[in-house]
Amino acid sequence: MTRHFHSDTHSHPHVHTDRPKRVRQPGEPLRIGVGGPVGSGKTALVAALCRQLRDELSVAVLTNDIYTTEDADFLRKHAVLPDDRIAAVQTGGCPHTAIRDDITANLDAIDDLIAAQDHLDLILVESGGDNLTATFSSGLVDVQIFVVDVAGGDKVPRKGGPGVTYSDLLVINKTDLAPLVGADLQVMARDADVVRGGRPTVLQSLTEDPAASQVLAWVRTQLAS
């Protein structure tokens, strides 16, 4: 299932026209947004969460890519969920437009996923790779995870940006690479705590912890709330 997003050519900066915050109704699936820069490990994290949750919950995934369905294809290839539980939106242009400024294509795709299943507990909505400013509309997701990785150096959390600062959970990914790029994980954790005002941050390596156990625990908490 693939939906195409159409928007007029635009230039920066964007004017945020966020919809009213979604109010999740009883029986509706929790929607968790997973955003972050290209290559930070978003799709690998989504895959890990699906593998851990698929036997106990009804899960679906919606990916966003600019011109392809590469992330959805990756998830299907690795059989993290049945094919009919994985959908894709081709955003065109700036990927954050489809998750923040005009979320219609994503909402339609979510409706299709819900209609195709008897019941869903959780929908993971993965953004296309973008920069540190990309965030999800509160009308699209209930909570959001923002993923960065250590390859950009330990300055990344300190630079802030809406994704780093205001996401419900910040994931500093690929910590096993820190010695190779000279990143100080203690500095990253400290700076993240400062800019995030106490919002939770997880440092993880999917190489060392394929189950993404800390993020998984956070997701379970959100599902129970």
Determine how many CB atoms are found less than 10 A away from the CB of residue 164.
25
- Tell me: is residue 139 an annotated ligand-binding position: no
214: Cα separation from own chain's centroid: 15
Task: Return all residues near 21 (Cβ < 8 A) that are at least 6 apart.
Answer: 138, 139
Q: What whole-number distance in Å separates Cα of residue 4 and Cα of residue 75? A: 19
Determine how many CB atoms are found less than 10 A away from the CB of residue 51.
18
Q: What whole-number distance in Å separates Cα of residue 133 and Cα of residue 42? A: 16
- Tell me: is residue 38 an annotated ligand-binding position: yes
Burial (0-12, 13-18, 19+ Cβ within 10 Å), 39: middle
Angle between helices 213-224 and 42-53 (to 10 degrees): 60
| C-beta separation of 192 from 169 below 8 A | no
- Tell me: is residue 36 an annotated ligand-binding position: yes
- Tell me: is residue 41 an annotated ligand-binding position: yes
- Tell me: is residue 39 an annotated ligand-binding position: yes
- Tell me: is residue 93 an annotated ligand-binding position: no
- Tell me: is residue 58 an annotated ligand-binding position: no
- DSSP reduced 3-state for 162: helix
- Tell me: is residue 125 an annotated ligand-binding position: no
What residue numbers does the annotated binding site cover? 36-43
What residue numbers does the annotated binding site for GTP cover? 36-43
